[in-house]
Amino acid sequence: MKKLLLVYIVLIGTLMAYLYMVFVKEDNSALLDEPEGLHGTLDEKYVMVNFLAGIDYWKNGLKGFEDAAEALGVSVEYRGSTQYDVQEEVMVLEQVIARSPAGIAVSAIDSEALNPAINKAVEAGIPVVMFDADAPRSKAYSYIGTNNYNAGVTAARKMAELTGGAGKVGVITLPNQLNHQERTRGFEETLEKEFPDLQLIGIADGKGDQMISEQKVRDLLGRFPDLSGIFVTEANGGVGAGNAILRLNKLDQVKIISFDTDKGTLDMVKSGTISATLAQGTWNMGYWSLMQLFHLRNRIVNPMSQDKGDSSIPPLPTNIDTGITVVTPDDVDQFYAK
Amino acid sequence: MKKLLLVYIVLIGTLMAYLYMVFVKEDNSALLDEPEGLHGTLDEKYVMVNFLAGIDYWKNGLKGFEDAAEALGVSVEYRGSTQYDVQEEVMVLEQVIARSPAGIAVSAIDSEALNPAINKAVEAGIPVVMFDADAPRSKAYSYIGTNNYNAGVTAARKMAELTGGAGKVGVITLPNQLNHQERTRGFEETLEKEFPDLQLIGIADGKGDQMISEQKVRDLLGRFPDLSGIFVTEANGGVGAGNAILRLNKLDQVKIISFDTDKGTLDMVKSGTISATLAQGTWNMGYWSLMQLFHLRNRIVNPMSQDKGDSSIPPLPTNIDTGITVVTPDDVDQFYAK
């Protein structure tokens, strides 16, 4: 009988310990977790919206967006227009907003056309940040991407290094797009200030097209046979310029600086046809877009910005420059997609 | 007897459930926690280093640094020179480096003098970021602070609004400091480009001193009695300019735009002596400095930058603009320290 009582006591003790664990300890562990670490829940869904969604250029940015989501324990989705079509991106963005996601990172095909949709989202309490291509007059909280003016400055300094700082140079660009205007302006103003012996003899519209850009370079070389260098502000034009100097047998005379790191560009850097290309920090654009959206969503922001709703005080940094890397034949290998 | 058996079964079942919880579920919850959330440990200590450590200006930045540390579950420490003394800040920084902290955020009293110490830390594997005042030629990974050129642009546009876009304006600044040169350049270039009827008639050195700045404003008003506005790029000079126009009874004629939000400046904004002052995003400087250091320390960075140690690929964003807020009599109250 005494033995049986002992068994009872042990078992009842166990029951009490069990009940204690279920009801008390769960609370306790929740208390311990809360102040440690930034994390959300999987039902917090953040959406990345862009245009020409299928092209390789976006892969690294999406990877950064996903990596940040994994680190924070939240979900992501990727949507974009399939065509280079302003109205299609507006429609995609409207559809995303209708489902009230936790936040949206947008790359704008046009610096004005998306503003009504962006503003509607912000006014409805959905955080929006811009990445890669800004909409500066929208209500989006920030821009995360390349400082394009500074990229032009870097291109000018590299051009001076490649050409010995003297001679005639040209630019092939997209004169109607803000990003490309800034790249051109940074290049031009740096030549004027720092390299007065490098003369900018022409700025041509390559229309983002390989064949048209090749023809524009041929035209420039027709008018200025002693041309020393060309800065091309986007990748298709860079390959077009490369083809032009290959076919005209001007490889040793004309130094080309291009933009971005698609396979065609990297191949021409590797062979020496393009002397250098400017790589953008696309992984960081994606990673820090998600990080900012998470902070806006969970109101981990400048306390002063929360005092009133329509305050002009920025809740978080307004402009994040993800930097530029000059890619030359020496280090081109590490830029190929893996 | 059957009843007793039932009691036994229930109690034994409870024992098994308890054992399951202790041995199996703990493991399980550890597995669930790990990939969720960014967090460090309290023995990860991050240090903020600045100069004139006692002044109010740093309080918000330190609060942001502490708030980020609390969110991530890491430790912080605050060190700085007590005087406005380059060698003292170098010495403080050397002492901090000697204790191998997890990372250091530095505000540089001089844009060159700290470079050897900063570079030594980075070469020893200690992450360093700059905040508020940059050392652009050092090996620090990034700068987090106000884009001073853009602050000057904002000041110019506000000045145009206050003066009706026409008249004579002057600048009181510190012509030898990079931040102040940038503010002045942004102001001057924006007047030239956007407001040709606003004429910049003089740039004077106020030496960061209230009395000297007051005298410089008196001199300007002596030479140009019809002066319409003054942009002062730092707070002491702003109060000096305010005293000058009060004593000369020019309050209605001369609009002053100043910088920062110390009590003396805010009081003059409240009374209307200073028409507007530019508030910096100091909380965000501290918060995002710690966030970047944490990412560098724990190698949550652009995967491409890790392929080789001396890579030129930025591991994280190189430049973070924390933005500017124009403070006017309407919203001055929320800027007083609480």
Q: Does B140 touch chain A (CB under 8 A)?
A: no
Q: Do residues A191 and A254 share a domain?
A: yes
- Burial-class residue A9 by CB neighbours within 10 Å (0-12, 13-18, 19+): exposed
Of A171, A111, A167, the closest CA to residue A140 belongs to A111
Tokens 């740096």 locate to A190
Q: How many Cα neighbours within 13 Å face the side chain of B313?
A: 23
Of B268, B250, B271, B247, the closest CA to residue B259 belongs to B268
pLDDT at B32: 45
Identify any residues that bridge with B172 across adjacent strands, giving them in sequence order: B204, B232
C-alpha to C-alpha distance for B288 and B57, rounded to whole angstroms = 17
Q: Do residues B103 and B187 share a domain?
A: no
Q: Does B231 touch chain A (CB under 8 A)?
A: no
Of B215, B220, B61, B53, the closest CA to residue B132 belongs to B61
Q: Does B313 touch chain A (CB under 8 A)?
A: yes
Q: Do A317 and B73 touch (CB under 8 A)?
A: no
Q: Does B298 touch chain A (CB under 8 A)?
A: no
- What count of other Cβ atoms lies within 10 Å of the Cβ of residue A151? 23
Asked if the structure places residue B231 within a domain, the reply is yes
Q: Do residues B168 and B138 share a domain?
A: no
Q: Which of A5, A7, A9, A14 to mutate to test the interface with B (most CBs of B within 10 A)?
A: A14
C-alpha to C-alpha distance for A173 and A206, rounded to whole angstroms = 6
Asked if the structure places residue A86 within a domain, the reply is yes
- In Å, the largest CA–CA distance within chain B is 112
Taking each helix axis as running N to C, give the angle between helix A86-98 and helix A115-123, from 0 to 180 degrees, rounded to the nearest 10. Answer: 10
Domain range for B82: 45-146+282-300
Who among B37, B67, B323 is closest to A317 (CB)? B323
- Return the residue of B nearest to A294 by Cα: B37
Q: Does B330 touch chain A (CB under 8 A)?
A: no
Q: Do residues B101 and B152 share a domain?
A: no
- Return the residue of A nearest to B68 by Cα: A300
Q: Do residues A120 and A157 share a domain?
A: no
Phi, psi torsion values for A331, nearest 5 degrees:
-125, 15
Tens digits of pLDDT across chain A (338 residues): 667 777 777 777 777 777 666 555 444 444 444 446 899 999 999 999 999 998 888 999 999 999 999 999 999 999 999 998 999 999 999 999 999 999 999 999 888 999 999 999 999 999 999 999 999 999 999 999 999 999 999 999 999 999 999 999 999 999 888 889 999 999 999 999 999 999 999 999 999 999 999 999 999 999 999 999 999 999 999 999 999 999 999 999 999 999 999 999 999 999 999 999 999 999 999 999 999 999 999 999 999 887 545 568 999 999 999 999 999 999 999 898 76
- What count of other Cβ atoms lies within 10 Å of the Cβ of residue B298? 18
pLDDT at B16: 77
Q: Letter for the amino acid at B45?
A: K
Q: What residues in A contact B331, CB-CB < 8 Å?
A: 311-312
The helix or strand, by DSSP H or E, that contains position B97, with its residue range, turns out to be: helix B86-98
Q: Do residues B120 and B204 share a domain?
A: no
- Return the residue of B nearest to A19 by Cα: B18
Q: Provide the domain count of chain B.
A: 2
- What count of other Cβ atoms lies within 10 Å of the Cβ of residue A54? 9
Tens digits of pLDDT across chain B (338 residues): 677 777 777 777 777 777 666 555 444 444 444 446 899 999 999 999 999 998 889 999 999 999 999 999 999 999 999 998 999 999 999 999 999 999 999 999 888 999 999 999 999 999 999 999 999 999 999 999 999 999 999 999 999 999 999 999 999 999 888 889 999 999 999 999 999 999 999 999 999 999 999 999 999 999 999 999 999 999 999 999 999 999 999 999 999 999 999 999 999 999 999 999 999 999 999 999 999 999 999 999 999 887 545 568 999 999 999 999 999 999 999 898 76
Asked if the structure places residue B13 within a domain, the reply is no
Identify any residues that bridge with B230 across adjacent strands, giving them in sequence order: B170, B256
Q: Does A321 touch chain B (CB under 8 A)?
A: yes
Q: Do B317 and A303 touch (CB under 8 A)?
A: no
Q: Do residues A166 and A255 share a domain?
A: yes
Q: Do A317 and B320 touch (CB under 8 A)?
A: yes
Q: Does A337 touch chain B (CB under 8 A)?
A: no
Asked if the structure places residue B221 within a domain, the reply is yes
Q: What residues in B contact A281, CB-CB < 8 Å?
A: 302, 313-314, 317-318
- Sign of the alpha-carbon torsion through B206, B211, B217, B218: negative
C-alpha to C-alpha distance for B103 and A284, rounded to whole angstroms = 20
Using CB atoms and an 8 Å cut-off, which of residues 60-119 of chain B contact chain A? 63-64, 67, 70-73
Q: Do residues A162 and A267 share a domain?
A: yes
C-alpha to C-alpha distance for A302 and A308, rounded to whole angstroms = 12
Q: Do residues A98 and A65 share a domain?
A: yes
Residues A50 and A107 sit within 8 Å (Cβ to Cβ): yes
- What 3-state class would DSSP assign to B90? helix
Who among B14, B35, B302 is closest to A281 (CB)? B302
Who among B37, B63, B304 is closest to A334 (CB)? B304
Residues B286 and B145 sit within 8 Å (Cβ to Cβ): no
Rg (CA), chain B: 27
Asked if the structure places residue B319 within a domain, the reply is no
**What stretches of chain A show up as alpha helix (H) in DSSP?**
2-20, 26-33, 59-72, 86-98, 115-123, 148-163, 178-194, 210-223, 235-247, 263-271, 282-297
Q: How many Cα neighbours within 13 Å face the side chain of A65?
A: 30
Q: Do A317 and B144 touch (CB under 8 A)?
A: yes
Rg (CA), chain A: 27
Asked if the structure places residue A157 within a domain, the reply is yes
Share of chain A above pLDDT 70, in %: 92
C-alpha to C-alpha distance for B159 and B197, rounded to whole angstroms = 12
Asked if the structure places residue B316 within a domain, the reply is no
Residues A139 and A128 sit within 8 Å (Cβ to Cβ): yes
Q: Which of A147, A320, A338 to mutate to test the interface with B (most CBs of B within 10 A)?
A: A320
Q: Which of B6, B10, B36, B158 to mutate to test the interface with A (most CBs of A within 10 A)?
A: B36
C-alpha to C-alpha distance for A310 and A312, rounded to whole angstroms = 7
* pLDDT tens-digit map of A135-176: 999 999 999 999 999 999 999 999 999 999 999 999 999 988
Q: Do residues B161 and B204 share a domain?
A: yes
Q: Does A238 touch chain B (CB under 8 A)?
A: no
Of A32, A284, A44, A39, the closest CA to residue B71 belongs to A39
- Return the residue of B nearest to A292 by Cα: B288
Check which CATH number belongs to the domain holding B80 and give it: 3.40.50.2300
Q: How many Cα neighbours within 13 Å face the side chain of A214?
A: 13
Phi, psi torsion values for A291, nearest 5 degrees:
-60, -40
DSSP readout, A152-195?
A: HHHHHHHHHHHHTT-EEEEEEE-TTSHHHHHHHHHHHHHHHHH-
Q: Do residues B194 and B233 share a domain?
A: yes
C-alpha to C-alpha distance for A101 and A126, rounded to whole angstroms = 7
Q: Which of A8, A33, A36, A333 to mutate to test the interface with B (most CBs of B within 10 A)?
A: A36
Q: What residues in B contact A321, CB-CB < 8 Å?
A: 317-321
pLDDT at B95: 98
Q: Do residues B152 and B243 share a domain?
A: yes
pLDDT at B34: 47
C-alpha to C-alpha distance for A3 and A10, rounded to whole angstroms = 11
For all residues of chain A together, what is the average pLDDT?
Answer: 91
pTM strictly above 0.90: no
C-alpha to C-alpha distance for B78 and B104, rounded to whole angstroms = 10
Phi-psi region at A164: left, alpha or beta (left = phi > 0; alpha = psi -120 to 50): left
pLDDT at A14: 73
